[in-house]
Amino acid sequence: MLLSRIETLGRMTLGFIQRLGRGNLFLLQVLASMAGLVLRPALLIRQLYSVGVQTLIIIIVAGLFVGMVMGLQSYYALVDFGAEDSVSVMVVLSLLRELGPVVTALLFAGRAGSALTAEIGLMKATEQLSGMEMMAVNPIERVVAPRFLAGVISMPLLAAIFSAVGVVGAYLVAVQLLGLDSGAFWSQAQAKVDLIDDLGNGMIKALVFGFIVAWIAVFEGYDCIPTSEGLGQATTRTVVHSSLAILGMDFVLTALMFGK
Amino acid sequence: MNSRALELLVGLFVAAGIAALFMLAMTVSNLASYGNGDGYEIRARFDNIGGLKVRSPVAASGVRIGRVTAIDYDQGDYVAVVTMVIEPRYNKFSIDTSASVLTSGLLGEQYVGLEPGAEDDYLKNGSKIDITQSALVLEQIIGQFLYSKSDEKN
């Protein structure tokens, strides 16, 4: 009884390490086959459409409301101290440093990552990937690499759009609704927000998150058990693992970038 | 969907992303203060700079005219050496200009304030400001206040 428990534990640990290794080898394969994309940009553009453009609506709506809520909340918190002019600093810094990259990546994992896993997994389940191999087409180069690269490219763009829309949302609430001075709103932000330290580091975060989400999504799809149940599990795993990886990585990156 | 419409939408998406980055850089970040790296460099020595940082503003009469580019510690004289770059169009500060570390508002950030003097020669690249006033450190002020109070009692 006890022995079998220990056996199970050992098997799970070994399985985890094996999967980790497989994931890394898979990533190397994907990166190695990236060069072939130069010859076929149409593949990448199609994936940019389904990964980036179709995620745009949810990002814009979420960004607008996050910005508006942040504007409202920080106004109520700061007005007690007579510091309501700092609303823009608070909103812009939170958006650029944390909320923009993190919330975008979480939404991206839910909207685009799960779709990538399901698509690639279904191709595997219906043996389309094997079919490609039969025709001497490398499925990693043809199917996986464009999706991966589209994810990596889309994330920083989406995060930038999220932050920009969020700032506009905060402007609408703080200036149009609550009557703050428009000049103070922008000049306070310009005085306190640094181009490289804040905007640049936020974009680096977004790029890293895009890399992680795209990697997890295509690997889970490519590695899934080719049954309807296995496909469902793989899609769930994509969202759960991506979200956890994003939040954990965010702490590490924040400590590295802003921990001076 | 045909491939032309697809390419158009993807192009719009990428353009929107870059436009968003551009908008953030222009409207809410300090991009404007990056470009003017040129100007003339002057040095000032302070006993205590308080919370002054690299890239802190340099102002005269409250108008921003440059920024702090380096802060060093001189071990020979035990003073802080603050290097600042002043925009080239503000080139008429006399050599007896005084510099002080000031605070904007009660708890705001610290900056270097320049107060022009009366000499006819002007500060130029590499000049040194001799008359300086250190930052006010709250603990020292409170300490002095307490001492003067206890002196009054005796």
Name B139's Cβ contacts closer than 8 Å, sequence gap at least 6.
none
Measured between beta carbons, the chain A residues lying within 8 angstroms of B55 are 194
Q: What ipTM was predicted for this assembly? A: 0.85
User: Average pLDDT of A79-94?
Assistant: 88
Q: Is the pLDDT of residue A222 over 90?
A: yes
Same domain for B120 and B77: yes
In this structure, how many other beta carbons lie within 10 angstroms of the beta carbon of residue B33?
17
Cα angle at A47 between A100 and A150, to 5 degrees? 45
Tell me whether residues B6 and A45 touch, CB distance under 8 A: yes
User: What pLDDT is attached to residue B91?
Assistant: 84
Tell me whether residues B24 and A191 touch, CB distance under 8 A: no
Same domain for B52 and B23: no
Nearest to B42 by CA among B132, B121, B128: B128
User: What pLDDT is attached to residue A190?
Assistant: 84
The A-side interface with B (CB below 8 A) comprises 42, 45-46, 48-49, 52-53, 56, 88, 92, 96, 154, 156-158, 160-161, 163-165, 167, 186, 189-191, 193-195, 198-199, 203
Range of the domain at B113: 40-141
User: What pLDDT is attached to residue A171?
Assistant: 94
Residue A92 — pLDDT band, cuts 50, 70, 90?
very high
Same domain for B59 and B131: yes
Q: Is residue B154 part of a domain?
A: no
pLDDT digit string, tens, across residues A144-163: 999 999 999 999 999 999 99
Same domain for B45 and B25: no
User: What pLDDT is attached to residue B37?
Assistant: 61
Same domain for B53 and B17: no
Same domain for B11 and B86: no
In this structure, how many other beta carbons lie within 10 angstroms of the beta carbon of residue A205?
27
Same domain for B108 and B53: yes
Q: Is residue B147 part of a domain?
A: no
User: What pLDDT is attached to residue B88?
Assistant: 86
How large a percentage of chain A has pLDDT more than 90? Answer: 79
Q: Which pTM was predicted? A: 0.80
Same domain for B82 and B13: no
Same domain for B44 and B24: no
User: Average pLDDT of A60-84?
Assistant: 92
Residue B1 — pLDDT band, cuts 50, 70, 90?
low
Nearest to B82 by CA among B53, B103, B120: B53
- Residue B86 · residue B65 · CB < 8 Å: yes
Q: Is residue B21 part of a domain?
A: yes
Q: Is the pLDDT of residue B36 over 60?
A: no
Same domain for B76 and B11: no
| Calculated CA dihedral for residues A152, A154, A158, A161, nearest 10 degrees | 120
Which tokens in the block code for residue B78? 């035990």
Q: Is residue B152 part of a domain?
A: no
Same domain for B44 and B25: no
Residue B107 — pLDDT band, cuts 50, 70, 90?
low
Same domain for B69 and B4: no
Q: Is residue B100 part of a domain?
A: yes
Overall domain count for chain B: 2
